[in-house]
């Protein structure tokens, strides 16, 4: 792996406050300039922004874009240091502020599609364009929040989540 790809894979951190919550955001950045593209990840079990978009970041940077892929709150290495939960759109808006991005193109998959849609509805002046895939862009409401924990729930997904929370097993020579 060349040094630029290694640094890209490692990522960076930024800390900022959203309302009363302190956030430590982990992100990947490539390219430079003011043509910004923000990649928004899926919300699948154990995903991260880099895992979702590593094959796209350098290609977009080489095409002349300044690209970002930030782990969503609760995914990858992004975490709430203090305070309580925040919405994905609030997080995205604060991340854009921290990176000094006024407007951007967005590429979102699944949960990322819903985040981009929410941002576009609440802050259309911040969105240049959107590519949305594999998601259910929808408006959050009491009803959608009530059913969200059960959407897409399967025995397989429950099993994967259970396995990801277990400590690794170490086999010693017999």
Chain segment 30-59, per-residue pLDDT in tens? 999 999 999 999 988 889 999 999 999 999
* Nearest Cα to Cα of residue 38 among 99, 124, 122, 123: 99
Q: What is the pLDDT of residues 98-152, one digit of tens each?
A: 999 999 999 999 999 999 999 999 999 999 999 999 876 566 678 777 877 776 6
> What share of the chain has pLDDT > 90, as a percent?
62
- Least reliable range by pLDDT among 1-5, 16-20, 34-38, 61-65: 1-5
Evaluate if residue 94 carries a pLDDT over 90: yes
Sign for the CA dihedral angle at 12, 50, 126, 144 comes to negative
Q: What is the pTM of this model?
A: 0.77
Superfamily of chain region 3-139 = Alpha/Beta hydrolase fold, catalytic domain (3.40.50.1820)
Q: State how far the alpha carbon of 156 is from the alpha carbons of 10, 46, 86, 150, 159, in Å.
A: 30, 14, 28, 13, 5
């Amino acid at each position: 792996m060349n040094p630029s790809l290694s640094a890209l894979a490692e990522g960076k951190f930024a800390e900022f406050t959203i309302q009363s919550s302190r956030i430590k955001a982990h992100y990947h950045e490539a390219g430079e300039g003011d043509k910004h593209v923000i990649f928004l990840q899926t919300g699948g079990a154990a995903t991260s922004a880099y895992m979702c978009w590593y094959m796209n970041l350098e290609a977009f940077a080489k095409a002349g874009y300044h690209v970002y892929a930030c782990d969503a709150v609760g995914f990858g290495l992004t975490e709430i240091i203090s305070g309580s939960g925040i919405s994905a759109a609030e997080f995205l808006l604060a991340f854009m502020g921290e990176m000094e991005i006024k407007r951007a193109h967005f590429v979102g998959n699944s949960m990322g599609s819903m985040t981009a849609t929410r941002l576009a509805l609440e802050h259309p002046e911040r969105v240049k364009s959107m590519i949305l895939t594999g998601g259910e862009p929808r408006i959050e409401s009491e009803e959608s929040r009530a059913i969200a924990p059960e959407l897409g729930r399967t025995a397989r997904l429950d099993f994967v989540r259970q396995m990801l929370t277990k400590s690794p097993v170490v086999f010693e020579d017999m």
